[in-house]
Structure 1
């Protein structure tokens, strides 16, 4: 499935709500564009583990979790969860 994930694809939760935009795949994770970061974490990349991808539909990567849960699954470059 990862071979279908491309730069610029929208990442959406299982509920269809926007979570982020693919920057690229990196080390078994999807690197999100910096422009999708928020709050105190604005201006740097976050990551989502490939294991949370439920499927790729057209130009969208659908996650297995709703968007409000998916943002809690985002990680820092170090692999640690993003503190909310």
Structure 2
């Protein structure tokens, strides 16, 4: 698991390497960030999506910064097979 994963807390904002919003942390689920349903990347508000902890570049303030742009992170989060 990423060394930064231990710093990830509920309700933190997840942003891509481009600074754009990806989602909001529900909680850590093993080696993945589980995003809240209400702020899910596919916009339906009906599903939890997951981002691998290995994608975390750092945690700063109330933000989890990823090592990829937001669009790429959203694509991986909405297609779970791609995120593993």
Unaligned ranges ≥5, structure 1? none
TM-score (norm 2): 0.84
CA contact (8 A) 1:30 1:47 kept: yes
Q: How far does the alpha carbon of each residue in 1:22-54 deviate from its partner, in whole angstroms, 9 at most, with x for none?
A: 000002100000012225x54010000000000
Residue ranges of structure 2 left out of the alignment (5+ in a row): none
Matched residue count: 79
Aligned to 1:45: 48
Please state how far the C-alpha of 1:80 moved relative to its aligned partner. Answer: 2.4
- Spell out structure 1 runs of 4+ moving beyond 3 A: none
Cα root mean square deviation, aligned: 1.8
Q: Match of 1:80?
A: 81
